Structure 1
Amino acid sequence: MNQFTDPPESGQPIHVVMAAGGTGGHIYPALAIADQLRALDPNLRITFSGTTRGMESELIPRNGYDFAPVKVIPFSRQEGWKRFLVPFILLSSAVKSAVKFRRERVDLVIGMGGYPSMPAVLGARFAGIPRLLHESNAIPGKANKFALSFTKNLGVVFAEVEERNRGAQHDVRVVGLPIRDLAPAATLSGRDPLRDRLGLRSSDRLIVVSGGSAGAVNLTNAALEAASNCITADDTVFLIKTGGKDFDRATEKLAALPAGAKVHLIAHIEDMTDAYESADLFVSRAGAASIAELSQNAVPSILVPYPWAADDHQRHNAEAMVAKGAAVMVADAEIDGKNLALLIDDLLSVPEALRSLSARASTDEHRHAAQNMATWALSLIKNHSNRK
């Protein structure tokens, strides 16, 4: 037995590494788990592991957590010849992580999927440290598929993933998608600050268009064109999140629209809880985090899966929502201003349709996901039998 198989020494704070990065879909659920771990044990030490290439290097410190960068790149054609170095870079970073984990007395590594998580998860395996994975999509990503070959514990959102991985070699639990416990300002004050800021009338319907963490040019273009094509345009207002890189181009395109189109552009929505509380309808990509938040807030939605997502997992996510009557799905190749305007008009003109989508989307299954994962994590640290 050594310091990594024994429970933490008395007086020695538990140290957990959260391995997450790349996109908000991995980072925000990791932050939710970290928040719950702190709530359960205020003395617990949490370090985030990720790369300097994604959002994590800015987002993690901004949320009050320590960030330790690692070197790793995705196996992607965009990397050119460097992608063939991925196994060597990963192995080197994993060994360095293992040495660091031993030196810093890390007790557990939680991997949230995505290539930035791999050095820490593999490093934990080398160091003999317990590992806990979370998979948010209906089709597990390549990183988690690989990690499952040497990790026993997996929390999932979709029951289909649990069924496919059920067996003696794995402990797979449907825990939901961790969402941070941030109450919307509208709930606290009785007012709707987002609608107030946009100057909306009580009769106005708000369509929020969000293409994920970085925005989506295709969704932005379709929404801008739909804004001047909707027959309900007189009382329909669009709030379009463009992402920082596309904001200037979208602003120029907005200036060329016919007079009367009611559109507000924003590079980033700082408080998504306000947006969910205020929206009558969401147009969104189908990442797991987006779907979980739409469901948690019972928001009717038009889902446009990102067609180049790994293993087409966003389409599978959206199909699961459509199957239970909780959303409408449109392929990215088919979305344009005319089609989107027709869909919006159809939904807004039949209030019962919006109410039905909202009711079928509504779920409480994600509310306790962060606590489920945090409690599981602490039990793994204390349970010797899981340290292998």
Structure 2
Amino acid sequence: MRVVLAGGGTAGHIEPALALADALRRIDPDIGITCLGTERGLETRLVPERGYELRLVPAVPLPRSLTPQLLTVPGRLAGAVGAATAILDEVRADVLVGFGGYVATPAYLAARRRGIPVIVHEANPRPGLANRLGARLTDHVFTGHPNTPLPNAQYVGIPLRRDIVQLDRFAVGDKARSYFGLEEDRPTLLVFGGSQGALSLNRAALAAAARLRAAGIQVLHMIGPKNTVEKEPPPGDPQYVVLPYIDRMDLAYAAADVALCRAGAMTCAELTAVGLPAAYVPLPHGNGEQALNAEPIVKGGGGIMVHDSELSGEWIVRTLLPILLDPERVAIMSEAASRLGRKDAAETLAHHVLRIAGGAR
């Protein structure tokens, strides 16, 4: 069987595709997997690093809504559809699974042209244009959010890496804190703003650093590879560890008692899968989907939410510090977050893919 995965641009599109690829390989080590991407996305690095074949098609940015601007792209889109069709023919694809992004639209149209089954996975509560188009071409639509408004949608959750879904935070907590140079027995706050960091989170956390330390809290803070801080906290006890990037987020989650973070779909899915309570700070721009991502977690008791404009060092001290100092409340929030997590999404989606592809052969 040969499966083609189309998802590129951001980690939010690529990581679920790679998690599905891993799940498919665990079920059938001989399955053929090809990933479609564009030369401008993170897939050019992430896909080869995970050992999968990457084939490129021209990027065709589309407007976020169905507007007359679509009329300006038919020539470029036709070229991308042709390139995607040639790849599907070459690998003799049995099924196409799309996750959104620039590469998904030409891939959906190419698969439809060849009569290849199309499967759409949408991670966000507000689907992008590519997946809205893709959902019109198939009955096989799966979502990472229970309230995503797509026809024929079935909620399965977001496919996640195995090192995340199998993580036992409490079993490896001491090892994880040691890995980052933290003490084993202090309450620990993890601060991160996604893979690139978030300036407002960085400023607020650093503004609260002295008072967090005075209260006995240690901090693991990923500022982002392109961000700098004007003044890092000086070495002291407890530790305040500032890193540009963390490549072992599983250990970062295990080291922490509470997180302060954005509310991207992948972040929310990972934190609930590992049972880590969080203070979510949705992006202040865009279509508001980050707030929608965090709302079910907050309502379920697994986290709290604050607007970006209200986040400050004082807010952290006033609102987040009392939670960190209350082990019973942290434990209750952790259990609530765990109840909302979906650890089986990759395997569930993989079995759907194999069923749909098998039925079309």
Show the counterpart of 1:138.
125
Supply the distance in 1 between the matched residues of 2:8 and 2:150 (Cα, whole angstroms).
24
SS at the partner of 1:177? coil
Secondary structure at the counterpart of residue 158 of structure 1: coil
TM-score, reference length from structure 2: 0.90
Matched, 1:216 2:198: yes
Q: Which sections of structure 2, spanning at least 5 residues, go unmatched?
A: none
CA displacement at 1:288 relative to structure 2: 1.2
Q: CA deviation at 1:319?
A: 1.4
Which residue in 1 is equivalent to 2:346?
370
DSSP 3-state at the match of 1:48: strand
Q: 1:322 to 1:346 in 2, by over 3 A?
A: same
Q: Specify whether residues 336 and 115 from structure 1 end up closer, same or farther in structure 2 by C-alpha distance, changes over 3 A only.
A: farther
Aligned residue in 1 for 2:292: 316
* DSSP-derived class of the 2:4 partner: strand
Q: Which residue is equivalent to 1:10?
A: none
Contact 1:23 1:213 in 2 (8 A): no
Distance 1:46 1:258 in 2: 48
Distance 1:34 1:258, change over 3 A: closer
Choose which of 336, 361, 366 in structure 1 pairs with 2:312. Answer: 336
Residues 1:57 and 2:34 are matched in the alignment: no
Partner of residue 274 from structure 1, selected from 223, 233, 251: 251
1:153, CA displacement in angstroms?
Answer: 0.9
Segments of 5+ residues of structure 1 without an aligned counterpart are 1-13
Residues in 2 aligned to 1:54 and 1:145: alpha-carbon distance in whole angstroms: 21
Counterpart secondary structure, 2:163: coil
Q: How does 1:120-269 map to 2 (within 5 A)?
A: 120-161=107-148, 164-165=149-150, 170=152, 172-182=153-163, 192-230=174-212, 233-246=214-227, 249-250=228-229, 252-254=230-232, 262-269=239-246
8 A contact 1:305–1:331 mirrored in 2: yes
One of 74, 83, 86 as aligned partner of 1:96: 83
Aligned position for 1:8: none
SS in 2 for 1:140: coil
Contact 2:135/2:150, CA 8 A, preserved across alignment: no
- Taking only aligned residues, the RMSD between alpha carbons, in angstroms, comes to 2.7
Asked if 2 retains the 8 angstrom alpha-carbon contact of 1:286 and 1:306, the reply is: yes
**Contact in 1 for aligned 2:6/2:104 (Cα 8 Å):** yes
Q: Distance in 2 between matches of 1:188 and 1:294?
A: 14
Q: Classify 1:382/1:88 alpha carbon distance in 2 versus 1 (closer, same or farther; 3 Å).
A: same
Q: In the aligned structure 2, how far is the partner of 1:350 from the partner of 1:190?
A: 21
* Structure 2 counterpart SS, 1:253: coil
Indicate how the Cα distance of structure 1 residues 192 and 70 shifts in structure 2: closer, same or farther if over 3 A, else same.
Answer: farther
Alpha-carbon shift at residue 377 of structure 1 (Å):
0.7
C-alpha deviation, 1:215, in angstroms: 1.4
Displacement of 1:95 in angstroms is 2.1
TM-score, scaled to structure 1: 0.84
Please state how far the C-alpha of 1:307 moved relative to its aligned partner. Answer: 2.4
- Residue 307 of structure 1 pairs with residue 294 of structure 2: no
CA distance in 2, matches of 1:20, 1:112: 5
Seen in structure 2, the aligned counterparts of structure 1 residues 32 and 258 have a Cα distance that, compared at 3 Å, is closer
